[in-house]
Structure formats: structure tokens, C-alpha cells
Chain A
């Protein structure tokens, strides 16, 4: 027998009480495929989970969306955990989702591609956002598992190459649900409290896509993107690419390669320093010899000028002197010609031949000398009397002294 009719709101209220006190519906995990995915302006997400025969409305609040490990997309098979919630006014119920888990490589790949596309469109992978890895770092921070081979490989590699870079190890979970928030926090902490770190290495050894998943989560991508300190990623094996690798400023194939990229070899630095020092020395010497050359060339030019002008001056003087000499010589010649003429007339007048012309003669003794006085001759001596037209050879018979 039916009870008496009750109001719609009473029915819904009753159903709500039944459903929301049920222990199974209060904490339930449901597998299904996402459909009708809608991101509401408030940040809440609405979608349906469906299988071949049925569908279930789902609600994901912004609060839980932030902690989600995957990017959601229609067609993705997920496991959604939460509780059944009844909306009294609408008379409907839905799954209030608190966490989502994805299983299977296929599904994970879909989520991976979805996030990759989203971040790509947001510019997270743009080369213009990539920061330069410092060439000569003083401090390297390493975010990785405290235990295991990875951290040992990195320390060993850095120490082998370089003896001055400090290594700061930030231990973190690198797989499992808690890993991504810890990795994200480590990046944030280093940027905030250890700003003198030059480069951050984020590393993890090889593993399955599930094991590497933390590095495909948006929260890690976001922190890598917003890090002021350059980040090198080395996640998994050489063939594994995670979202973190795409966002990082530099991707290394292995943790060892990351260490090699992060720090230079001390010996190479010293060689580089030595080269720079010898360059400065060489350039200075080059500069000095250049100036030296300039200086001497200027000196030579100056000397040449002085030399040339002094030659010109001397040439001029020589020319002038030459003219003077010519004039003076000519003058001397003219003067002397007159003197010569006069002398000739005098000489002509004095010539013995002229005197002989007038009837005078000269007495030459037997040794050929002109006789000027009777004292120069003696009686009986032969003498030669010269006249204008010949000689008379005679003998002295008498010498008389003038009274």
C-alpha cells in the first residue's frame, strides 16, 4: 500500500540522504571514458564518464583540478575517484571528482600530447624563452633522488671535470603522485632562497612512462618555465622525452651529459684564461710596435723635409755664389787686362833690345854674366860685346877708372 503523496523536494531530499550516507558511494573510483568535457569560466570542470552502456555526470572543482596530474581530453579513459553528490534542486546526481588516475601507455600518451599541445600554444617551448646555460658557473643545484645512481653519476662527472663548482643537492621524489609538487617546490625554493645558483639540473634515471610521469605534469612545466635560473633536464633514457625536457632551457640525453653541459673542465678554463692573457699581451705589443712605426715614420718625414729645404737653401746659395764669382772674375779679368797692357808697355820700354835699338850694347864676361862695373873684369880677359845685330868678341887691353 502506497504512503501518502509527498513533495518533489522531499523525494530529492530523501534520495540525497540515502545516497550521501552510503559508504560505497561516499568514496568510489569509477573507470570510464571522458566525454562532453567542459571547462567552465569559474575554473570548474564538467564532463561525463561513459562506457558502452551508460554515462555518469562528473564535476571537478578548481581546487582539485590544480592538483591533477594529467591534462584531460575527450576520449581519454580514466579512473575518477570521489563521492556521489546529489543536486536537490535539479534532481540530478553526479560524481564529485577529487582525483583522476590514468592507466595504460595509450591513455598516458593522449594526456601527454594534450598537455604538450597546450604548452606549445602557450609559448612554453619557444626558443625565445630559453635561457643561456652559464659557461663558468660557481654553483650547480641538482634536483633528483637522493639515492640511486643518478646523483652519484652527476657528482662524479662534475668532480672529474671541475674542482671549483659547488654542488647543491635538492633531494626529491622523482616518481609517484607526490613527486611533481616536490620537484616544483624545489625549483621554486632554489629560485627564492638560493638565487646565487647558476644552473639547475633536474634529473631522473630511466623508467616507464608511468614512472616518468611527474615530469609530464603541468605544475613542473610551469615552474621550469618561470624559473629565473637556467635549467638543464635529463629525464630517463636518451629516447625518452618528457614535457620537462621540452620546457627546460637545455635537454641532456643522460644525467652524465647534463653534468658535462653544466660545468666546464677546469683545465679548459685555465687554457682559455691563458689564451686571453697572451692575447692581451700580443695586442698590446702589436699596438706598441704600430705606434713605434708611426712615430719613426713621422720622424723620418720631418727629417726629410728639413733635409730637402736645407738642400734647396744651399743650392740657392751656391747658385748665388756662382753668379758672384763669375761677376768678380770678369771684373778681375778686366782690371788685370788693363794692368797687363800697362805693364807690357813699361816692359817693352825697358827691354834691352829697345835700348840696343838706340845704339847701346851689353858686355858679357866669359862665364856668361852681364858686366856692370870695371871691377868685374881684368886686363887680358876675353869679353863678348852684344849689339842689336850681333856680337863682338874682344880682349881687354886696358882698364881705366872713371874720375
Chain B
């Protein structure tokens, strides 16, 4: 099980998409639907936060010490 802090944007997005899909199904019960909605909302907030807090980095690989150095 991956904790929330390790979860990537893509994983959270996949969960959000899965929640939306599950909600669409006729076979989903009301109780399940509420849980999926909660889950979807949680992932939506998580993804939006990643976008809002984005700190893009441009890194340069240095072969001699096999490490990345921040550019700019």
C-alpha cells in the first residue's frame, strides 16, 4: 500500500478517474457511490494541490559524479 505522500499525480488521477467510472455504473449502490465520491473529491484536491504548488525544476546531469545539478 502506498501512502498519500508517495502517491504520484498520475496515481491520484487514475484513482479519480476510477471513482468517476465506478459512479457511472448502475450496479454501484448508493453507499458505494458516496464512498467513491469522497474518494474522488480527495484525489481531485490532491491533484489540484500538486498543480497549484508546482515547483518546476530544470536539472543538468553531470556524468563525472553521476548527479543532477539545478540549472538557472
Interface membership of A14, Cβ < 8 A? no
Contacts of B40 in A (CB 8 A): 276-277, 280
Of the stretches A165-173, A224-232, A238-246, the one at the interface is A165-173
Candidates A134, A164, A273, A283; contact of B44 at CB < 8 Å: A273
Closest to A272 in B: B13
The complex places the Cα of A162 from the Cα of B50 at a distance, in Å, of: 12
The complex places the Cα of A279 from the Cα of B41 at a distance, in Å, of: 11
CB distance from B25 to the nearest CB of A (A): 9
The complex places the Cα of A166 from the Cα of B55 at a distance, in Å, of: 8
Q: Are A166 and B57 in contact (CB under 8 A)?
A: yes
Chain B, 22-69, CB within 8 A of any chain A CB: 23-24, 28, 30, 33-34, 36-37, 40-41, 44, 47-48, 50-51, 54-61, 63, 66, 68
Q: Are A284 and B16 in contact (CB under 8 A)?
A: no
Interface residues of B (CB under 8 A from A): 8-10, 13, 16-17, 19-20, 23-24, 28, 30, 33-34, 36-37, 40-41, 44, 47-48, 50-51, 54-61, 63, 66, 68, 71
Interface residues of A (CB under 8 A from B): 134-138, 146, 155, 159, 162-171, 186, 189, 193, 198, 266, 269-270, 273, 276-277, 279-281, 283-284, 287-288, 291
Among all A-B residue pairs, the 8 with the closest Cβ atoms: A164-B54, A283-B23, A280-B40, A277-B44, A284-B37, A287-B33, A170-B61, A163-B54
Contacts A189-B61, A273-B16, A280-B19 given; 16 further ones with Cβ under 8 A?
A138-B8, A138-B9, A163-B51, A164-B50, A164-B56, A166-B56, A169-B60, A198-B10, A280-B16, A280-B41, A283-B23, A283-B37, A284-B33, A284-B36, A287-B33, A288-B30
